[in-house]
Amino acid sequence: MPFDLHGVFAVPPLARRNDSARTLDFDQNDKIVAFIEAGGISRLIYGGNAFLYHVTLAEFESLIDWLATLTARISVIPSIGPSFGRAMDQTQFIKNHDFPCVMVLPCADPRDADGLERGYREISEAAKSQLIIYLKDETNFGSNLEHGLDSVARLIDDGICVGIKYAVVRNDPTIDPYLEALLARVDRKYVISGIGERPAVTHLRDWQLTGFTTGSGCIAPRLSQELFEVSKAGDFELALQIRSNFTGLEDLRDAWGPARVLHQAVELAGIAQVGPIPPYVSPLTAEQAKELRRVVDDLTKR
């Protein structure tokens, strides 16, 4: 039985303390989760918005222990990688807990389809968990796109991967030959829209994807959940109206970096104290934070 991907998956930031080590602050992270849950979203993916590309192994262990405390009431999916060695090190913590699956962060280092397929199989076996594949760029599975999609399909067919987070950005998401080629190989029930609210309606309406991920929905979870529900009911005109509420925040995330904007937006919305952003990403300037506050205030009123 595949993991049910129908729904909204919030991708929260990760709060840290203002100490010299920028230690993870789970009291504040509990507040973020409670806010999202109160807004009707019960599925979380911890990945790029939480800067998991850059966490230490010790931080990852404490994060996994905390996430495991949430699984009795909500569905929580941690991310591992992006390198093979880092992912294998992290599996020792994953295998001790009962997560529905884990997401493998996309790797930009030397890779090809056969090598990634072999690595994903070994990671899944070591973690004792099925995987979500994160397709952020057409070349994530190597420069041979057709060969890469064949590898993705085999991983799905063999039960190694339970789903695909599709996050290839298009100027016009109605035109996407790569997504079309993917869906020719993989049942669309395994694919969720992975780029937030902006393309979500098109992905749900025109491509019949099963759900979508959201960062901005961490600020306005009720609106994100409503967008999914009215889309599922076929009222895409209303869905587009709901989506328009997110335009201001999505514009700033595109302009200044999705994760760094969301990190500060959560604090500006009064949801939690998120603390500093870890290296390699810089915080927003004072002028940017001022503009962001205006946008966040407008969204939370809606």
Q: Is 128 left (phi over 0), alpha (psi -120 to 50) or beta?
A: left
Question: Alpha carbon 156 to chain centroid distance?
Answer: 19
Q: What is the pLDDT of residues 231-285, one digit of tens each?
A: 999 999 999 999 999 999 999 999 999 999 999 999 999 999 999 999 999 999 9
266, containing H or E segment: helix 258-268
Domain definitions of the chain by residue range: 7-301
3-state secondary structure of 102: strand
- Written as six digits, the tokens of 294 are 């205006």
Q: What pLDDT digit, counting tens, does each position of 135-179 carry? A: 999 999 999 999 999 999 999 999 999 999 999 999 999 999 999
7-301, CATH topology level: TIM Barrel (3.20.20)
What is the overall mean pLDDT for the chain?
97
E strand or H helix that includes residue 113: helix 113-127
- 31-49 tens-digit pLDDT: 999 999 999 999 999 999 9
State the pLDDT at residue 1: 41
H helix and E strand count, the chain? 12, 8
Is it the case that residue 54 has pLDDT exceeding 70? yes
Residues 6+ apart with CB under 8 A from 135: 106, 141, 152, 164, 165, 166, 167, 168, 182, 194
Residue 4: its pLDDT value, please?
A: 85
